[in-house]
Amino acid sequence: MKIKRGLLAAVLLLAFAVSFFFSGVDAVVTHKGTVAETFVPHYLTLYSLSSAPSLLLALIIALFIFALLSLFHGQPNVSFLFMAIMTVLYIVFLITYCAETRNNSVYNILNEQFLAEGIKVKKRDFNITMTPNWWCWLTAALILASTLTIFPDFRTPVTRYRLKRQVEPYIFIAPHVLLFVVFSMVPIIYGIYAAFTTWDLYNDPVFAGLRNFRTILFDSENTYFGQLRKGLWNTIKFMLYVTPFCIAVPFSIALATRSITRGSKVLQAVYYLPSLLSTTTVMLAWKYFFNNTYGMAVNLFGSTWNWFAPPYTWVMMIIITAWWGTGGTMVIYQSALASVPDDQYEAAAIDGAGAFGKFRYITLPNMSYPLMYTCVTTVIAQLNVYGQPNLLTGYNYNGANAVLLMYIRDTAFTQNIAGIASAMSMVLGAVIMAISFVQIRLMRGDSERAKRASR
Amino acid sequence: MSKRLISVVLALALLLGLTSVGFADDAIEIEFWTVFTGDDGQTLQKLVDQFNEEYAGKIKVNHTPFNDPYTNLYTNVQAGVTDDIPDVMIGHVERVPKMVDDGILTDVDFLFEEGALDRANYPELVLDRTNYDGYQYGIPWDFNAPVLYVNMDLIAKYELADLLEDGYVTFDEILKAGETIKAAGDLGDIAVISYHGGFNEFVARYEEFGQVELIQDGNLVIDPQIWGDMLARFQEQNNLGYSIPREDDARTRFIGGSLLFFENGTWTNATLMKVEGLNYTAMMMPVFSPETALCRCGSHTWMQPENEDRTEEEDLAVATFIDWMGAHSIIWGTEAGQVPLYKSVTEMPEFAELEQCFLGEAGTVPHIKIYRYNYWSTFTGACGHVGLDPVYDPDYDLYSAGVTIQKEVDDAIAAGI
């Protein structure tokens, strides 16, 4: 019986998806006898980001997926929870969205009609009447029906207990899930969607298929093709140059401060301090340090390099990034080193192991996980580099140090070409994921070999 | 007893609180955004404070400066967050066309029609730049432009006063100054010129050099040959060692007295004015010839973002504010170093004494030009990507620079800005 109810609920849920596709709002506005009207389907509202209620639609879609998955995993009570929230959100959406008498997206569509007629209407004079079409009511009815189909039976203690066990964990994780969905999942989905559109961040995006990807990946004559190649290659170069130092320097300091008995805490604080500073503060301070005329590098240390011209720009950025990023990684290493049992070192000493032997066969194997973790996070962090080249070198020397995020930021927010920028972001994301994946696989193998060797 | 006393005191406090709510300031509140985040922002705030004092109880202006108000504005309009859309803002004149196209701005004709503002108080040239399809979308606040700051002590030291006599510094005169400083054995310690870079440097120079229009029928048209030949004149200065090293801080060098010609915007004047003992003047950017001289000018412009919740009463309060600010804007010249445009202000004797007042004649002087192009920020971004590479890199293919900029703008438009 339960299986049948679940199946029925799933069917109703899928019917909801179909009905949702046809649901929408009829919008009408009248100005001095001229009528402008349009139909705004929900999917248009969803991707137009036209107002706050459109976010509710995104949440409803997310909940729909969760509800369906819960049903397939034999958890109707959890699915019921998601569907109940969906029902409430959908009704709230219909009420709030239809109350928007000057919805920006709808205003743009209707205003076009007035302008085509040669009539200029100020937005303040718009009073749009929005009425849900009958599909909306069917959609609401279907989701309500689906919810009621799997309404839990609260009468028996066993059901109440099961309900408590199944639902309670979700209530505990709900705040985090909500924040994750609103601030991470929805933007990621919109970002992916934007990559397939032509969008100026203001007007409604227009679906463009794979055009943006064709442009940035295959159209060798196009500016954005060049920017992606140059930006991505500079980003990878930066990561390759900087990462070894961002691992080796804090590791060395952690090892050194471990053996210092007096003042180690002070030293730790001193090394950690730079990581508390903001990007701008760090970059401006170092910019003056390396200044070719007034800088300490020239006047105190007698440097003759032009630190702001390649290839020295890379050296400068390695120094700054290693100095700036040492603190956080160092703390991880210090705590990991502190957890290495002293008796292992004592036993090794009895066996005649020297300092290198202890390091090679005791310290390193014990540090394999922190090292792996910091390697992955450092690589990801360095591939997301933006502040250093942006504030130190900009696009100088034919963009010799211009990284991909600089181009992405410029394209999205200076030029308002969000489609191309999102496509570039997706390429960067794919590269980061691929590198991290390979890295984790390689290091996992390494750490297992190291463990076997230490046995 | 003590509990009773406490109760009475609390009740009185509550009553007092409610009373104060009852007597709350019912002045019309105006949200005012600007792009002035530096020293000039402080000067503007001073003016706003003065206005608030004078109109206490009637109008209250809340001034918020932003580095980039446009992104905030677009986001808030898009999201329909009308509470966070300013009633009035001062932005860049070049931004207006795109904002009008996007429906972000509302026209301000109503303010003129109601007599709250008078067109006669503003130069027609600037008003025209924000007039679209017969609707007025902007009200001029000031002129801003890249200018040439000249260290007068160095002029006196090297006896170069004759270079400035006609009010222009030409490219040939820069070379002459370089030769003089070189002959004195000071070249290196003293740099002849620094560059502002990007579009500020090259736009007007290109039109002047080639006697061509950069924007033709609303489209960007760069002739790579002319652009390259124009760049060659800059590269010549650098090859002779007259320009400051690329990474040097030009402002510091100018203030320190080791730079003769310092190119920067009028907005930098606010800082220079405060430097004790700095003897300088401001002139038009270097030209190829006084006869063909051209100065790219911008204007900070009042604009009203579209906001359906704003009432006509608030609009009129905005007009009162704009007009008052204009009439008191001399401080914008004397303290912020900018160029106010309000007619009665430009007729003040103090205005004539401003170093940068030569820009104030823009309404009548034909060689000052304000550009009007829908994709201006894309164009300036493309210029920024090329930067000063053509000037400083002797191996740079000068004739590719114009092609690169043109291509970037065309590709951006094709990508659907």
Strand ranges (E), B179-254: 191-194, 215-216, 219-220
Test A292 with B247 for CB contact under 8 angstroms. Answer: yes
The secondary structure element, H or E, covering residue B78 is: helix B69-79
Contacts of B412 in chain A (CB under 8 A): 223, 415, 417
From the list B77, B381, B407, the residue facing A415 with the nearest CB is: B381
Q: Does A422 touch chain B (CB under 8 A)?
A: no
pLDDT, position B6: 64
Q: Does A220 touch chain B (CB under 8 A)?
A: no
Q: Read off the pLDDT of residues A429-441 as tens digits, 9 standing for 90 and up.
A: 999 999 988 888 8
Q: Does A329 touch chain B (CB under 8 A)?
A: no
Query: With contact defined as beta carbons under 8 Å apart, do B357 and B334 qualify?
Result: no
| DSSP one-letter string for B368-402 | EE----TTHHHHHHHHHHHTTHHHH-TTS-HHHHH
pLDDT, position B132: 86
Instruction: List the single best residue of A202, A221, A303 to mutate versus B (max B Cβ within 10 A).
Output: A202
Q: Read off the pLDDT of residues B264-311 as tens digits, 9 standing for 90 and up.
A: 988 888 888 889 999 999 888 999 998 888 888 888 999 999 887 788
Test B307 with A124 for CB contact under 8 angstroms. Answer: yes
The Cα of A104 is separated from the nearest Cα of chain B by a number of Å equal to 6
pLDDT, position A163: 76
CA distance B333 to B47: 12
Contacts of B306 in chain A (CB under 8 A): 122-124
Strand ranges (E), A32-148: 34-41, 129-132
From chain A residues 49-68, the ones with a CB under 8 A of any chain B CB are 49-52
Test B389 with A126 for CB contact under 8 angstroms. Answer: no
Q: How many residues does chain B have?
A: 417
CA distance B326 to B323: 5
Q: How far apart are the first and last CA of chain A?
A: 56
CA distances to A195, B90, B341 from B139, rounded to whole Å, are 38, 9, 10
CA distance A37 to A35: 7
Count of CB atoms situated within 10 Å of the CB of B345: 22
Q: Which two tokens stand for residue A3?
A: 């299986």
Q: Letter for the amino acid at B201?
A: E
pLDDT, position B366: 57
Test A102 with B377 for CB contact under 8 angstroms. Answer: no
Nearest CA in chain A to B416: A198
Characterize the bridge pairing of strands A206-207 and B146-151. unpaired
The Cα of B168 is separated from the nearest Cα of chain A by a number of Å equal to 30
pLDDT at residue B4 above 70? no
What residues does each domain of chain A span?
Answer: 2-155, 215-454
DSSP-assigned letter for residue A322: H
CA distances to A23, A42, A54, A202, B394 from A48, rounded to whole Å, are 16, 10, 8, 9, 49
CA distance A122 to A221: 43
ipTM of the complex: 0.79
pLDDT, position B160: 94
Taking the domain B25-142+298-369, which CATH number applies?
A: 3.40.190.10
Phi-psi domain of B256 (left: phi exceeds 0; alpha: psi -120 through 50; beta: other): alpha
Q: In the predicted model, what is the mean pLDDT of residues B146-164?
A: 94
pLDDT, position B20: 47
Q: Is B276 exposed, middle or buried (0-12, 13-18, 19+ CB in 10 A)?
A: exposed
Q: Which residues of chain A have pLDDT under 50?
A: 1-2
Test B412 with A223 for CB contact under 8 angstroms. Answer: yes
Q: Which two tokens stand for residue B269?
A: 């004047």
> In sequence order, which residues have a C-beta less than 8 Å from that of residue A231 and are 6 or more positions away?
A399, A402, A403, A404, A405, A406, A407, A408, A424
From the list B74, B246, B306, the residue facing A201 with the nearest CB is: B74
| Lowest mean pLDDT, pick from A17-21, B25-29, B209-213, B330-334 | B25-29
pLDDT, position B17: 52
The helix/strand/coil state of B291 is coil
Contacts of A51 in chain B (CB under 8 A): 79-80
Interface of B with A (CB under 8 A): 68, 71, 74, 77-80, 102-104, 106, 135, 245-249, 252-253, 306-310, 377-378, 381, 384-389, 393, 396, 407-408, 411-412, 415-417
CA distances to A174, B81, B125 from B84, rounded to whole Å, are 30, 6, 32
The Cα of A330 is separated from the nearest Cα of chain B by a number of Å equal to 34
Residues of chain B with CATH 3.40.190.10: 25-142+298-369, 146-296+387-414
Query: With contact defined as beta carbons under 8 Å apart, do A365 and A451 qualify?
Result: yes
Q: Read off the pLDDT of residues B37-96 as tens digits, 9 standing for 90 and up.
A: 888 888 999 999 999 999 998 999 999 998 888 888 888 877 667 778 899 999 999 888
Does domain B146-296+387-414 bear CATH number 3.30.565.10?
Answer: no
Q: Assign B173 a pLDDT band (cuts: 50, 70, 90).
A: very high
From the list B248, B393, B411, the residue facing A293 with the nearest CB is: B248
Does domain A215-454 bear CATH number 1.10.3720.10?
Answer: yes
- In sign, the C-alpha dihedral spanning B387, B393, B397, B398 is positive
